[in-house]
């Protein structure tokens, strides 16, 4: 376990991979990462403003004590640069890496290699919603406490065949990471991850064979190679992939119901 001074010297950088085509939302004419998925009252101004999909993940990275983040984008998503700029509005220092062609999640993350090679990495996806919001902070702490190479934040799900279920041992070590299995007895999925430079180098060494593959394949390769791979399971948490119209609709309906409940509490309807 790292001593307190050693922990203080560990540098973390966030990665937000946003270079995908959004093929499941083909009719959408703007990056799905910029869709509003909730609304909140700004504590500084008192103004109600939207929370964008990517903003949820960026704020979770910032709240984990990470100050720098690399967003990987494609030529089609320059709007993301215009919206987030240098990151001042979300409390981060943001840099951008261009990946001209969508080659899969693993290679999108590897595109940031030169920016993160000597640092630990916090990964959150820009088109997901997860709870608890401090999940990134908690797996970051688990990485330090266990001198781990990789820690996955794992959430319950009813649709593991569409995501990346994780088999976890009784000691919290990861036994297996699956990728959209047709059949599984697991009802969970990884949703966020943190790792050390050792895993970053494994990813780089595998890059020649990773086109159109998910980062979950490399997670499982790390397990096979005997890396110290851990998981934090958020049993009461939730995870939503916003990549389909149905999931977006469910989030909007849920957000509207919560807003209606808030308004009802503030302005109760009086019986007449």
Name the residue ranges covered by the structural domains of the chain. 6-266
Structure tokens at 170: 């009784």
pLDDT tens for the 272 residues of the chain, in order? 454 444 456 899 999 999 875 555 455 566 788 888 887 777 778 888 888 989 999 999 999 999 999 999 988 889 999 999 999 999 999 999 999 888 889 999 999 999 999 999 999 999 999 999 999 999 999 999 999 999 999 999 999 999 999 999 999 999 999 999 999 999 999 999 999 999 999 999 999 899 888 999 999 999 999 999 999 999 999 999 886 555 555 555 454 444 444 444 444 444 43
Residue 215 contacts residue 134 (beta carbons within 8 Å): no
Q: Tell me the CA distances in angstroms from 183 to 161, 178, 180, one per residue in order.
A: 7, 10, 9
CATH code that applies to domain 6-266? 3.90.550.10
Distance (Å, whole) CA 20 – CA 17 = 8
Distance (Å, whole) CA 124 – CA 194 = 9
User: What integer pLDDT is reported at residue 243 of this predicted model?
Assistant: 66
User: What integer pLDDT is reported at residue 258 of this predicted model?
Assistant: 43
User: What integer pLDDT is reported at residue 35 of this predicted model?
Assistant: 84
User: What integer pLDDT is reported at residue 199 of this predicted model?
Assistant: 98
Q: What is the separation, in whole angstroms, between the first and last Cα of the chain?
A: 65
């Amino acid at each position: 376990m790292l001593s307190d001074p050693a922990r203080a010297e560990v540098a973390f950088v966030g990665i937000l991979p946003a270079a995908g085509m959004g093929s499941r939302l083909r009719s959408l004419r703007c990056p799905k990462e910029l869709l509003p998925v909730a609304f909140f009252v700004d504590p500084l101004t008192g103004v109600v403003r939207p929370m964008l999909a990517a903003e949820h993940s960026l704020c979770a990275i910032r709240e984990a004590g990470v100050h720098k983040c690399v967003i990987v984008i494609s030529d089609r998503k320059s709007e993301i640069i215009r919206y987030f700029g240098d990151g001042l509005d979300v409390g981060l220092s943001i840099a951008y890496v261009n990946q001209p062609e969508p080659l899969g999640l693993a290679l999108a993350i590897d595109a940031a290699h030169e920016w993160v090679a000597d640092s630990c990495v916090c990964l959150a996806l820009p088109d997901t919603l997860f709870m608890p919001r401090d999940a990134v902070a908690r797996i970051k702490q688990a990485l330090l406490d266990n001198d781990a190479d990789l820690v996955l934040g794992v959430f319950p799900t009813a649709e593991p065949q569409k995501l990346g279920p994780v088999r976890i041992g009784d000691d919290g070590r990861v036994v297996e990471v699956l990728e959209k299995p047709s059949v599984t007895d697991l009802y969970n999925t990884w949703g966020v991850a943190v790792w050390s430079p050792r895993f970053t180098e494994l990813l780089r060494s595998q890059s020649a064979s990773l086109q159109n593959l998910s980062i979950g394949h490399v997670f499982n390769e790390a397990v096979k190679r005997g890396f110290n791979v851990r998981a934090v399971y958020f049993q009461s948490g939730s995870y939503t992939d916003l990549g389909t119209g149905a999931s977006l609709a469910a989030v909007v309906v849920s957000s509207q119901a919560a807003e209606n409940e808030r308004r009802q509490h503030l302005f109760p309807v009086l019986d007449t």
